Each structure stands twice: as structure tokens, then as C-alpha cells.
Amino acid sequence: PTEPGDKRARLQALGEEGNPVGGATLRGSVLIPKATVTPRSLTFADAVVGETSEKVVTVRNTGDVELSLRSTGFIGDNPEFSVEEPSNTSLAPGGEASLSVEFTPTDREAVMATMIVETNDPRNQRIPVSLSSTEATVNITVNETDAATTVNATATSVSAGDTVSVGIPQDG
């Protein structure tokens, strides 16, 4: 059974000619794990190309028996996203685990992906989590040092193909 709750069934014994000769009522309770994943979507805003941003997804067992986290993965091929599996993949009723989702943009383009959390919850075996990013920022730092002068210039909003001009004063 995939639905929790009290269940009843009637067991009937049949004689040689197929006539009922006895029986019993069977009763029992069905206990199942129940996976709850929050949040169900993550947006990585203000990311910087080449730098890693991290967000956390929490998996909770709100069911009556142990919940197993079978695996996590991604739909599609998007290596900019990764997930660190929790050390504890068996959650007792009321237990929770954190999944660390990381995003490391390789260019400025906004991206989307879907992470799948797989569990032994019979009603929720594959739980999708939507992942997205806004356009990433490129940081460019120019440093020039001599005995008398240090010049630092940082551009925080540069697109591919843009020209950046930095004036570096010359000391006489």
C-alpha cells in the first residue's frame, strides 16, 4: 500500500467443495515515510563568474518510518550546478538533512536546471527542485605597483567583448 492509515481485509478458508468453512478479519496499519523538500526552487542572483555561490535545500521526513535519500542529480547537462550529498541518508521520522547546492558560473549567461531528489517515499519518489540564475557579473581587477604608486581599478559590470579603459598615472 502507498497510502497510510488503518487497513482491514477478510481472510476466508474454503473447504474441499469450495464452500466457506471459516475465516478471520485482518487489521493493520500502513506506515510510510513522507519526504518534504524546501525550498522547491532556488535562484542564484548576484553571482560572479568563476566564484561559487551556495544555497541549502532541506529534506524532512514527516512520515511514520525511516526515509531514505537514494540520490540527487540533475536533469540535463549543466556543470555549473553541483550538490553535496549529506552524510546521513537515512532520516528517522521528524529528521532532516541539508543538501548544499552550489553554482559556479563560467560566463555571464543566465542558466536554468532541475535538481532531482530521489527518496523511498512511495508517493514522492522523485522530487524536482528548480534552479536558476540571473545574469552573472564579471569582476576585473587591474593592479600596477611600483616603488611609489599602487593603482587599483575594479570594473563590476562588463560584458563579453566590452573594452575597459583604466588610466594609470605615471609618476615622474
pLDDT tens by residue, 55-90: 999 999 999 999 999 888 999 778 899 999 888 899
pLDDT on residue 44: 95
Question: Which residues, other chains included, contact 155 with Cβ-Cβ below 8 Å and sequence gap of 6+?
Answer: 138, 139, 140, 164
pLDDT on residue 165: 57
pLDDT on residue 60: 97
**What percentage of residues in the chain have a pLDDT greater than 90?**
47
pLDDT on residue 2: 62
pLDDT on residue 169: 55
State the burial class of residue 12 (Cβ atoms within 10 Å of its Cβ: 0-12, 13-18, 19+): exposed
pLDDT tens by residue, 90-135: 999 999 999 999 999 998 899 999 999 999 999 999 999 999 999 8
Task: Please state whether the predicted TM-score (pTM) of the whole model is above 0.85.
Answer: no
Residue 151 has pLDDT above 70, yes or no: no
pLDDT on residue 24: 87
Residue 162: pLDDT band with limits 50, 70, 90: low
Residue 170 in grid coordinates: 605615471
3-class secondary structure per residue, 108-135: CCCCEEEEEEEECCCCCCEEEEEEEECC
pLDDT on residue 38: 97
Residue 53: pLDDT band with limits 50, 70, 90: very high
pLDDT averaged over the chain? 83
What average pLDDT does the segment 16-33 reach?
83
